Amino acid sequence: MSKGGLLPHVLTAFSGGRVLDVATGHGDFAFALARSLASYDEIIGIDTNDKELETARETAKRQSLSRVRFFVRDAEVLGFEDASFDTVAISNSLHHMKSPGTVLNNMRRVLRPGGLFIVREMYRDNQTNAQMSHVLFHTFRADIDVLKGVTHRRSYLRDELYQMYQGLGLSAVEVFDVGPEDVEPPIDPMDKDNVDHLVQMVDQMLEHPADYNHDQMFKVRGEELKEYFRAHGFLPATSLVVIGRKPG
């Protein structure tokens, strides 16, 4: 599932300046920002997974995005100077963090006063049946990752995210619920290719049981998931997007 996702149209009004994309993975959100912002000086994506960053670097090169660069950095440390970025952003990655509060506070630290703070995270409540395919798939993958010793929380509730964002003390805050209904042309939830791909991903996760002390429970859950996908299709879950500025 891509971290790029959907972005509110208002981003086209903002100049990003020097942008930091935290936990960028394959760079999807960094590239989405490059497309959406009115302008930017440079976009720096950081992640701990150098293999994923290599994919991001190849994409940037292929798309001639020389001002979008990627580096190995820990989100809970960052290692950048205070007030060294004009924009900081994170997308669908807080559920991977051991201490999401520490990550958000570090992002605030490296953001200059008056700078732009962008947070996007999918939530699990108030979703349609087709969107619940996304939520249930994410829950299944998160539970397997936890058994492997990987930090991966289930999706947050919307109110949990909102409370987390309020703790940042941002000003001029705009809040958006961004979902598949915001896409043109509309997404067909019963698109066979999308459903088949989701089914295949479940099968792939169940292929190597020794990796996560696999038991019958996960086999049963996997089969139930695949039947759910076939019955209800798939749509991306709605995300809460918060855009605010650091006071000062």
pLDDT in tens, 121-131: 999 999 999 99
The answer as to whether 161 is a domain residue is yes
**In the chain, which residues have pLDDT < 70?**
1-8, 208-215
Q: Is there a contact between 46 and 87 (Cβ–Cβ < 8 Å)?
A: no
Task: Report pLDDT for 147.
Answer: 83
State how far the Cα of 246 lies from the Cα of 195, in Å rounded to an integer. Answer: 41
Identity at 28, one-letter amino acid code: D
Task: Report pLDDT for 46.
Answer: 97
Looking at the structure of the chain, the number of domains it has is: 1
The answer as to whether 1 is a domain residue is no
Task: Report pLDDT for 209.
Answer: 57
The answer as to whether 122 is a domain residue is yes
Task: Report pLDDT for 208.
Answer: 67
The answer as to whether 79 is a domain residue is yes
Per the structure, the complete domain to which residue 13 belongs is given by 9-245
**Is the model's pTM score more than 0.85?**
yes
The answer as to whether 4 is a domain residue is no
Give the bridge partners for 18, in sequence order.
42
Task: Report pLDDT for 5.
Answer: 55
Q: What angle do CA 204, 98, 46 make, to 5 degrees?
A: 75
The answer as to whether 2 is a domain residue is no
Task: Report pLDDT for 43.
Answer: 98
State how far the Cα of 104 lies from the Cα of 89, in Å rounded to an integer. Answer: 9
Task: Report pLDDT for 235.
Answer: 95
The answer as to whether 236 is a domain residue is yes
Identity at 166, one-letter amino acid code: Q
State how far the Cα of 160 lies from the Cα of 210, in Å rounded to an integer. Answer: 34
Domain of 33, CATH number, reads 3.40.50.150
